[in-house]
Amino acid sequence: MTDRLLVLVRHGQSEWNLKNLFTGWRDVDLTDEGVAEARAAGKRLKAQKIKFDVAFTSALVRAQRSLDLILEEMGQTKIPTFKDQALNERDYGDLVGLNKDDARKKWGAEQVHLWRRSYDVAPPGGESLKDTVARALPYFVQEILPRVLRGERTLVSAHGNSLRALVMVLERLSPEEIVKRELATGVPILYRLEADSTVASKLDLAA
């Protein structure tokens, strides 16, 4: 039987996650804890005895470095890897670089909550989750999904919102459901797909 395996993992904690800042497309590195989270993800995947054929990541260093650390832990650093900004985090526009508490003081808690947790309301100069889905989903359908359906075991290291876009289509979630879905840093989610791309099984490798 073809093993149509797709593993999604959100990058480890970044420097700006730690400082409670809106990050978006700003290129910040992992914290020491983020490095440890990525290594732990690699160890958990290694324990599953998975051999990946291909990996995808974003154009941002926190996702790329997480991927490198995961593959290093697994002893699989030689597999083909593709990087594309289609998998980048949601662009938070004018909020980028702001502390989330400061943003609430400036615009009000209700408005900031609406930008962060609505599906189709974008912050000034930025993207809504709907916009992020519109960017990430075509790349997934054209570049990633065909490989999975051919039986290539595929790893994707990306971001909370770009991965939400993929989870939304894989699990057939509504806009209301996906905005409530939290994806923890450094926790691999294993999907095995049927030939028609529906999910046969899902395993969350939380510690």
Q: Is 113 a catalytic residue?
A: no
Contact 41, 158 (CB under 8 A): no
Q: Is 159 a catalytic residue?
A: no
Q: Catalytic: which of 11, 73, 127, 159? A: 11
CA distance 94 to 22: 9
Residue 138, burial from CB neighbour count under 10 angstroms (0-12, 13-18, 19+): exposed
CA distance 105 to 3: 50
CA distance 63 to 47: 22
Q: Catalytic: which of 37, 73, 89, 152? A: 89
Residue 201, burial from CB neighbour count under 10 angstroms (0-12, 13-18, 19+): exposed
Residues annotated as part of the active site: 11, 89
